[in-house]
Amino acid sequence: MSVKSSVLWLLSLFENSIHRKPQAFGMGLLGLALSMGLVQSAQADNRLGGISTRSFVQTESANYMIAGVFINGGSKRVVVRASSVDGVLNPRLEVQSYPDGNLLYSNDNWSTDPSAAELQQTGWAPNGTSDAAMIITLSPGLYTMQVSPVDKPGVGLIEVYELNSTESPKLGGISTRSFVQTNSMNYMIAGLFISGSAKRVVVRASSVDGVLDPRLEVQSYPDGNLLYSNDNWDTDPSAAELQQTGWAPARSLDAAMIITLSSGLYTMQVSPKSSPGIGLIEVYELPEEPDGPKYSSTPASGGTLSFSTPVGTPVTQNLTITEDGDANLEIKLASITGIHANDFSILTAFPFTIADGGAAKTVTIQCTPSGEGVRTANLQISSNDGTHSYPLQCTATQNSPVRYTDNGDGTVTDNRSGLIWLKNASCFYLEWREAKQSAANLASG
């Protein structure tokens, strides 16, 4: 587990269940966090709101799910829970000090833990009687939370909740190690909540066993819009900054990115590019920089640009970028990816620079839908203040049912056949209506 001066301030955890069966369960966890006042506390405290991880847990010790937590500032009371997602896993939970590996706490069924009464009274008791949970006090330092099967392997969820989150000691930093399979149901998925203002974060997915070639995706929750993705960190727009700040992974096959996330819920998904293997997911908050450029936009980074137009008819939307820091903002590159990327285009020329204190710059995006329905893609803009992502959504309707269109230049277009008629075909001494009737008479014999 990597610990640096920048740590992840942890508050509440939730499961990503996008496009997966346990969606109601995932939303239930989020609802619980809200009901306990955790989200409100995080908003008041203006910090990252936490991370949890869901993964497939095997019976071999090398393939257990292991979360790492760092506590700084003072002792902290926390709730730790290990639960089954698929109804198959019967989880065992162990808390150890790191790096010496001393076993501090363990639990199989939450109702047998010394803190069972408090878990019930405070609403933190899991729904499943076979799930594990405990309320414990941890001194400043590093800890691991290990989830293993009592008997059968299965899909599990590890959670760590901070109690009395407004106190000065903070739960800082979490990473999770687990076995990552090629089946999408058994990917490793982390959930993140950011409160207050937008945060710049480092997200990394790396191989532990040297076998896994990880792919990393960041999505908004619960809509599942893909915001960022990376396979090899040195191909990411933030590669130079990753190297300069020391966050670059040791292996070129590992994935990493520095991104800006506004207040809200996100998921980080780790999947194998080829063979399954043991992986590690990490999320860290970068410190605020007192000097330098600051990227700001309307809509904000992560906001959706929406379009509506008939099929084949172009329509545009504008994105306004401003420099809110104290240095020149360099907008380096813009790209559009996604399933309907070919339906969208960038009309503004890149790169460009917004001088410190200079006027805002408008970026124009065009949608020309090639088919009916909702067309989606993702816009990414790279700058010297990070990479920023905007989901694109274009609703395409049927073309106009009008048969003829007056082109305003002496011609009329037949929208059904595509033929263009002269309104006054004087060379034949016929008006276009007469010509149309004459052609109809010829066609009918």
Residue 306: the pLDDT is: 97
| Contact assessment for residue 428 and residue 378, using Cβ atoms and an 8 Å cutoff | no
Residue 94: the pLDDT is: 96
Q: Would you state the CATH architecture of domain 295-397?
A: Sandwich (2.60)
Q: Tokens for 398?
A: 């049927």
Per-residue pLDDT tens over the stretch 154-168? 998 888 877 765 444
Q: Strand 305-310 relative to strand 214-220: parallel, antiparallel, unpaired? A: unpaired
Residue 163, phi-psi category: left (phi > 0), alpha (psi -120 to 50), beta (remainder): beta
Residue of 134, 157, 214 whose CA lies nearest to 181: 214
Percent helix, percent strand, percent coil in the chain, to nearest 5: 15, 45, 40
Give me the helix-helix angle, 38-45 and 23-35, nearest 10°.
Answer: 60
Residue 26: the pLDDT is: 31
Residue 395: the pLDDT is: 96
| Contact assessment for residue 137 and residue 76, using Cβ atoms and an 8 Å cutoff | yes
Q: Strand 386-397 relative to strand 305-310: parallel, antiparallel, unpaired? A: parallel
Sign of CA dihedral 271, 272, 278, 281: negative
Per-residue pLDDT tens over the stretch 188-223? 888 777 777 788 889 999 998 899 999 999 999 888
Residue 2: the pLDDT is: 34
Residue of 365, 303, 321 whose CA lies nearest to 340: 365
Residue 334: the pLDDT is: 96
The full set of domain ranges for the chain reads 23-285, 295-397, 404-444
- Helices (H) and strands (E) counted in the chain, each on its own, are 5, 30
Under-70 pLDDT residues of the chain = 1-51, 164-174, 288-291, 399-401, 416, 425-432, 439, 442-445
Instruction: Transcribe 35-79 into DSSP letters.
Output: HTTHHHHHHHHTSEEEEEEEEEE-SSGGGSEEEEEEEESS-EEEE
Q: Which residue has the tokens 């001088």?
A: 355
Residue 387: the pLDDT is: 92
Residue 40: the pLDDT is: 31
| Contact assessment for residue 255 and residue 190, using Cβ atoms and an 8 Å cutoff | no
23-285: CATH, from 3.20.20.70, 2.40.50.420, 2.60.120.380, 2.40.30.10 = 2.60.120.380
| Contact assessment for residue 39 and residue 193, using Cβ atoms and an 8 Å cutoff | yes
Question: Where do the DSSP E strands lie in 126-198?
Answer: 132-138, 141-149, 154-162, 170-180, 188-194
Residue 429: the pLDDT is: 59
Strand order across the 361-367 sheet: 295-298, 315-323, 361-367, 344-346
Rounded to two decimals, the pTM is 0.55
